[in-house]
């Protein structure tokens, strides 16, 4: 059984599933599009409820790009204040989540451009390398006998993998991290990621591919 797709802009507010009572039932009965309409006309309470729904997702998205808690806090604050100010211009053609995601990534990358780099400041950034070298790097251990070689990545203890991954993600170019973050949020389609980042579809595809290959190389080398 697959989940029922919801039309964009009409999203039942699900954050209150864990609570009971009349307030929860009331929350359930209001659709997101109704709240957007109310918030658009200046209803702060309606906007607050939209924020309750989306805050965690925006937080995760921004953190994945910035990888710094205090910076994330600042930028998430900016995102919702911008959304509040700009909501009258939101026409509902994309879902609110998509719209907020676009604001979030743009703000996060602008924050880095303004010099707010902290995580990667003292770390050696991952060097994407030349195109050919990058492409063949993944197959350097291709065996002759047709059996897959033991990948260092597979024999890593899960904890070591987590540590190396956190380090390597912090060293990826932020624009690559942004593409990965959008992909990991809701498994967004490349087309949606391209719209959010203002890029061509092919650029998104190659950026994600390079980011993953670079991550693999970094995690395996442990440097």
By CB under 8 A, the residues from 92 to 111 that bind another protein are: 93-94, 99, 102-103, 105-107, 109-111
Torsion angle (degrees, nearest 10) of CA 173, 86, 55, 187? -50
Tokens of 190: 């490349």
Q: Which is nearer to another protein, 22 or 146 (CB)?
A: 146
Q: How far apart are CA 112 and CA 186, in angstroms?
A: 24
Binds another protein by CB under 8 A, chosen from 29, 121, 222, 223 = 121
Binds another protein by CB under 8 A, chosen from 23, 29, 34, 151 = 151
Interaction of residue 195 with another protein, rule CB under 8 A: yes
Tokens of 158: 């899960």
Helix, strand and coil percent figures for the chain, each rounded to 5: 65, 0, 35
Binds another protein by CB under 8 A, chosen from 10, 23, 25, 81 = 81
Tokens of 97: 């989540």
Binds another protein by CB under 8 A, chosen from 88, 221, 222, 223 = 88
Shortest Å, Cβ 85 to another protein:
5
Q: How far out from the chain centre does Cα 194 lie?
A: 13
Shortest Å, Cβ 221 to another protein:
13
Shortest Å, Cβ 45 to another protein:
9
Helix (H, G, I), strand (E, B) or coil at 12: strand
Question: What counts of helices (H) and strands (E) characterise the chain?
Answer: 11, 0
Interaction of residue 123 with another protein, rule CB under 8 A: yes
Q: How many CB atoms lie within 10 A of CB 76?
A: 23
Near another protein in 155-194, by CB under 8 A: 158-159, 161-163, 165-167, 169-170, 173-176, 180, 183-187, 189-190
Binds another protein by CB under 8 A, chosen from 29, 86, 221, 223 = 86
Task: Please count the residues of this chain forming the interface with another protein, following the rule CB under 8 A.
Answer: 125
Helix (H, G, I), strand (E, B) or coil at 156: coil
Q: How far apart are CA 98 and CA 70, in angstroms?
A: 24
Binding-site string for another protein from residue 31 to residue 70, where x marks contact by CB under 8 A and - marks none: -----------x-x--xx--xx--xxx-xx--xx--xxx-
Q: How far apart are CA 170 and CA 126, in angstroms?
A: 9
Binds another protein by CB under 8 A, chosen from 142, 221, 222, 223 = 142
Q: How many CB atoms lie within 10 A of CB 202?
A: 10
Q: Which is nearer to another protein, 32 or 34 (CB)?
A: 32
């Amino acid at each position: 059984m697959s989940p029922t797709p919801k039309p964009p802009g009409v999203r039942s507010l699900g954050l209150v599933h864990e609570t009971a009572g009349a307030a929860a039932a009331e929350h359930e009965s209001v659709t997101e599009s109704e709240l957007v309409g109310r918030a658009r006309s200046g209803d702060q309470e309606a906007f607050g409820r939209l924020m309750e729904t989306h805050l965690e997702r925006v937080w995760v998205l921004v953190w994945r790009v910035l990888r710094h808690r205090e910076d994330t806090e600042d930028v998430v604050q900016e995102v919702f204040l911008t959304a509040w100010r700009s909501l009258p211009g939101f026409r509902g053609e994309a879902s609110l989540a998509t719209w907020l995601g676009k604001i979030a990534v743009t703000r996060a990358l602008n924050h880095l451009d303004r010099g707010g780099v902290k995580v990667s400041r003292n770390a050696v950034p991952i060097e994407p390398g030349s195109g050919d070298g990058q492409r063949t790097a993944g197959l350097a251990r291709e065996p002759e006998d047709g059996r897959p070689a033991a990948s260092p990545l597979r024999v890593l203890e899960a904890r070591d993998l987590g540590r190396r991954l956190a380090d390597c993600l912090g060293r990826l170019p932020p624009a690559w991290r942004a593409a990965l973050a959008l992909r990991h949020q809701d498994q967004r389609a490349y087309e949606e990621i391209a719209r959010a980042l203002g890029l061509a579809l092919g650029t998104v595809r190659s950026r994600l591919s390079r980011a993953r290959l670079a991550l693999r190389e970094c995690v395996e080398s442990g440097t």
